[in-house]
Copies of this chain bind each other. A is one copy, B any other.
Amino acid sequence: MSDTIDFWIDLSSPYAYLASERIEDIAARHGRKVRWRPFMLGAVFKTEETKPLVFYPRKGKYSEMDLARSAREHGIPFRIPSKFPVPTVAASRAFYAIEDASGHDAARDYARAVFRAYYVDDRDISDAEVALDIAGECGHDRAAVAEAIASPEIKAKFKEATDTAIEELGIFGAPFIIVDGEAFWGNDRLEMVDRWLERGGW
């Protein structure tokens, strides 16, 4: 059994962003490491017959209120971006390119920077140029990342991650957290993950 917690995210998911600001601390308290895994959530909407939260009339309105409230509880800066939701293919590929070149911790720091660029600074992370700018701001060679995200190898890595998430693991939402084979869906399950780790399951 690996001691790693898999943290499946879509880089434009607001609940994934909120969870991303807390999961490292929770894992660390229990001596665990987090493995971040961006995938393309949109790929599951069709077969699951679901859609982004904001496209449901009542659920969408509730979610906007709940996101703001959930952020306030933990002092996490948050606003719904001007362009929302967006696809994040370039940024997700950049994550895997950075992981490939510089290791997982560097990729995790990049993902956090992408989330904050979107939910704090309202930058359009669906724009490949913005995704590359953020890589540059994180200290990576912008041109090298640009070349990598256009390569078949990195494209395949993101596709494989999405296939693993949806086909193999049956994931249908984000964030989706897997601890010792046990699946937890949603930012609001972080407390349950914490209790699960504390008690070793139940």
Which residues in A have some Cβ–Cβ distance to B below 8 Å?
44, 47-51, 56-59, 61-62, 65-66, 69, 72-73, 170-173, 182-183, 185-186, 188-189, 191-192, 195, 202
Contact = CB atoms under 8 A, between A and B. Distances in A.
Contacts of A51: 49
How many copies altogether? Answer: 2
A58 B44 contact: yes
Given A56-B50, A191-B191, A61 B202 contact: no
Nearest to A191: B191
A103 to B, nearest CB: 31
B183 A62 contact: yes
Given A50-B59, A58-B171, A172-B58, A66 B185 contact: yes
Contacts of A182: 69
Contacts of A202: 69, 72-73
A197 to B, nearest CB: 13
A82 to B, nearest CB: 24
Interface centre among A59, A61, A65, A72 (most CB of B within 10 A): A59
Nearest to A185: B62
9 contacts: A48-B57, A48-B58, A49-B51, A49-B56, A50-B56, A59-B173, A62-B183, A62-B185, A69-B182
B192 A188 contact: yes
B59 A183 contact: no
A115 to B, nearest CB: 22
